Structure 1
Amino acid sequence: MIEITIRLKSPAHARRLAAILRTLADTDEDRGQAKTYRGAARRLERIARPNRYTTTRPPRPTHAELDEEAVQRVVKGLRPLPPLSRAEARIASWRLTAHRCSAPEIAERVGATERTVRRWRAEDREAAQR
């Protein structure tokens, strides 16, 4: 076994190296080596993923009125995503669920945790059954 240390300057470089490793895994005939390449690519992508706790998103608004334009931007995925109040995030979550988006994708867009999105979905299903 040989260990190699690679220093990358940015997350973009890590994602690029991960893509190269995945391509290499697809072309390698040795299944064990291909699995090793995919594992390394997965670890690089995890490292390159931005930390949601340290991002510089502006604080969420606390007003009682709903900003329909902000909700529409989030649903359409127009970057930069605006900060949403809790009510706006819930509405955007409901609309994205109707568009068959996954819970992790919805959580990233609305600025909530995946667990919160799943809880909102369960509450909406329960309300629909009444």
Structure 2
Amino acid sequence: MIDVTVRVKSPTAARLLAGLLRQAAADEADRGQARHWRGAARRLDECVRLPRYAPRVRRPQAAEIDHSAVRRVVTGAHPLPVLTRDEARLACWHLMVNGCSITESAERLGVRPRTVSRWRAEDLGGCS
């Protein structure tokens, strides 16, 4: 038996790897090996599954915006700080101006892609 450790940097990469494992399991003649690959794919899915509801953006405690935290998220400096809702909206606007995709912006901000789409539509005046 050989143990393999794989590190993936994003949930998207983990989902892609899980899909490849499922495809390999479907093509595998050995039923036992296919079962192990499907199990590995299931464990990858469990690692990246979002909880039912957990606020990923802190509610504002103070009226001011931490511009250094917003800058870190926009530049992608790890570890990414947790932002208040107002800071996340500002960072979303900067990411949109810089041309980041909706999914990349959502991963950086810690919100769902639908939230990023809504914020972008509101920032564009509802024309998007």
TM-score above 0.5 = yes
Q: Under a length normalisation based on structure 2, what TM-score does the superposition of the two structures give?
A: 0.59
* 1:15-34 alignment runs, 5 A limit: 19=17, 22=20, 33=27
Q: Report deviation, 1:117.
A: 0.8
TM-score relative to the length of structure 1 = 0.58
Q: Judging changes above 3 Å, is the alpha-carbon distance between structure 1 residues 21 and 116 closer, same or farther for their aligned structure 2 residues?
A: closer
Is the 8 Å Cα contact of residues 74 and 109 (structure 1) preserved in structure 2?
Answer: yes
**Is 1:109 matched with 2:108?**
yes
Shift of 1:119: 0.6
In the alignment, which residue of structure 1 is the partner of 2:73? 74
Matched residues, number: 108
Cα distance change, pair 52–102 in 1 and its aligned pair in 2 (3 A): farther
For the residues of structure 2 that align with 1:66 and 1:44, how far apart are their CA atoms?
Answer: 38
Deviations 1:50-79 (A, max 9, x none): 636699x89555211111100011011111
Superposition deviation, residue 48 in structure 1: 2.9
What SS does the corresponding residue of 2:125 show, helix, strand or coil? helix
Matched, 1:119 2:113: no
**SS state of the match for residue 126, structure 1?**
coil
Partner in structure 2 of residue 86 of structure 1: 85
Q: Percent identity?
A: 38
Q: Which ranges of structure 2 fall in alignment gaps of 5 or more residues?
A: 29-33
CA distance in 2, matches of 1:58, 1:122: 19
In 2: Cα distance, 1:54 partner to 1:126 partner: 28
